[in-house]
Amino acid sequence: MMILRKKNSYKNIEGKGREKKMAKTKVLVVDDEEDFAKALRVRLKANGYDVVLAHDSIQAIMMACQEKPDLIILDIMIPGEDGFIVTERLKQSQATQYIPVIFLTGIPGGERRAHMLGASGYIMKPYHPESLLRTIHKALEIKGAQAGQKVKEAVGIAL
């Protein structure tokens, strides 16, 4: 059972028996500019998120599969394959296809391609922190609603 709470971005997960543990919402930040990625990690942690970092396309895909983040913030220009190709690969994998991706980039003009790939947002650098946080929150709400709909559909099929 997963329940996203608005203010502190925690989700409720079932533990052993009837225990319930609180786990922070995990965000994977992919950016080759280490100082930028670290600063973003500090900002996100201050807002209640657990953050893991990757700095190139290979790390991005590996971390997405290993860490199972709730959301990915992805730059376009990263070493290896660009952020668009990383997103294509993530959307093709059953393990990562439902993870929302938000592009945070200095590259203008990629909004249409990002949308076509199913991205949850496209934010230009330099960014406004409040705008990024709103986009994250909205993407997580949509993901939660979609998960709820899938459960309803599965229950409807089982009945």
Residue 48 lies in a domain: yes
Does residue 112 form part of some domain? yes
Provide the domain count of the chain. Answer: 1
Specify if 90 maps to a domain: yes
Compute the mean pLDDT over every residue in the chain, rounded to the nearest whole number: 86
Which pLDDT band holds residue 156 (cuts at 50, 70, 90)? low
* Tokens, residue 53: 């970092």
In a domain, 158, yes or no: no
* Per-residue pLDDT, 17: 47
Residue 103 maps to a domain:
yes
β-partners of residue 81 are none
- Going by C-alpha positions, the residue among 80, 79, 86, 81 that lies closest to residue 103 is 86
Whether residue 149 lies inside any domain: the answer is: no
If DSSP states are collapsed to H, E and C, what string results for 18-64?
Answer: CCEEEEECEEEEECCCHHHHHHHHHHHHHCCCEEEEECCHHHHHHHH
**Cis peptide bond prior to 69, omega within 30° of 0:** no
Q: Domain containing 93: what range?
A: 24-140
Question: How many CB atoms neighbour CB 88 within 10 A?
Answer: 13
153 within a domain of the structure (yes/no) = no
Structure confidence at residue 1 (pLDDT):
36
Residue 147 belongs to some domain of the structure = no
- Give the pLDDT band of residue 23 (cuts 50, 70, 90): confident
pLDDT digits (tens, 9 = 90+) for 92-141: 999 999 999 999 999 999 999 999 999 999 999 999 999 999 999 999 99
> pTM for the full model?
0.81
pLDDT > 50? residue 6: no
Q: Could you tell me the CATH number of the domain that includes residue 54?
A: 3.40.50.2300
Q: What is the pLDDT of residue 89?
A: 98
